[in-house]
Chain A
Amino acid sequence: MGDPAVGRCVTTEGPLPWILRIVVGLILAFLLLPVVVVVLASFSTTAYLTIPPEGLTLRWFGQVLRDPAYLAAIWFSVRLAVAATLLSALLAIPACYALHHRWVPAAATISALLMSPLIFPAVVIGVALLQYVSMLGLRGNFAVLVLAHLVIVTPYMIRTTLAGLSGCDPALEEAARVLGANRVLAFALVVLPAIRSSLAAGLVFALITSFDEVPVTIFLLPPGQATLPVTIFTAIDQGVDPSVAAISTLLIAATAVVLVLIERFASVRRFI
């Protein structure tokens, strides 16, 4: 009855007990600690952050931004993520439409199968694909890498698209049909706009997932080329140098910007 505290009652109203506030503060500190440490280290003259910190410098950022290996890796990652995401949307949206309307028998089973790469250990998909491309003589093929990423990101695409479709009033599409639109037009003019925020969520999630992917990618890279995370991974494996902190800080900043943009134009909650 016009009372904000009644709308969503987990328990009774009132602030959290102070002890719980302290605990939550500590947990958040734990979550953010490694991020803060990386950012501070990237401005420090030493490879690791020290106490007390030593000199301040922007040298590592300059080094990273001039390093052709990192620049190539960023470009490679972006191309891969965009190609995999767009292809995934192109194949997944029609499939979801058919599944949603139960135009195929055993639609529930089929959606479960389409989602199954999500529950497979990624490293297993990676080694299986490694053996597969070796047999086919396609090792290091970019198209194979795009298809591998498509397998990884499609479950996210399917999940958000199906959620969008089931949240969409079926009467909308029926109304468009009664008003004279054929199925394709009704889908394009009415259904797609109605589920656009779900689609956007799926696309963003797919992009981020593909950009971040390591355990499958690492087995399938063309010689001499690598995605950005794999480049950082290899750099760390070979021993830490300060440029790793700098490129990590750039990734942290990019992630923060993306999140703030999402929060501004939609809500982060719907992306989970």
Chain B
Amino acid sequence: MTPILTGRDLHKNFGVTPALRGASLTVGEGEIVAVMGPSGSGKSTLLHCLAGILTPDFGEVHFAGRRIDDRPDRERVQLRRTAFGFVFQFGQLVPELPALENVALPLLLAGWRRKAALANAAGWLPRLGLDGVGTRLPGELSGGEGQRVALARALISRPKIVFADEPTGSLDSAAADQVMELLVDAAREQGSSVLMVTHEARVAAYADRTVFVRDGVDAVSVGAP
């Protein structure tokens, strides 16, 4: 499998506290990888370093064959807008914007015309079981609906990779299953890779491969390499 994202020997300290101590991880093109580990093991820090949100103190991150951790912020922001998608535990939708505009946001930021962006976003709502919720504000959505809107927003720009940090952390098991099924199906359909951090084995079981992080170092992995 051709690697799309690679982190090598990543170290990251917060003050005197080490969060990563030599973690390495590769995600293949179209591969779905889960990262598990106890609280404080560094799994979210690993995701943030690989996504270019944090800069590692040591080690390298390569995306699509190019080193990205040493690039200026401006370039990394651009990369996050065009090639990466993000889903977080609580959706982090813009509360003042209706669901449809939240979904269209990455396209609007990428310079699409408003009408075209909204039309594209409208195509995503039925795919994620969100018919009829386009005009509702995030505060009027259920937890599962909000997470599915966040999913549509992460996928709309057809990213090469989706980073998901506890994407089902705030949901009950039935809503979590629905979100995971939609994420996996949509990612496979458009060939996006997924790197997700989760503490739930039930969620990790949707991945092709699971990596365990302990004390800031990746320990063992299960699934096809």
Decide whether A and B assemble into one complex.
no
Residues of A that sit less than 8 Å from B by CB? none
Could you tell me which B residues sit within 8 Å of A by CB distance? none
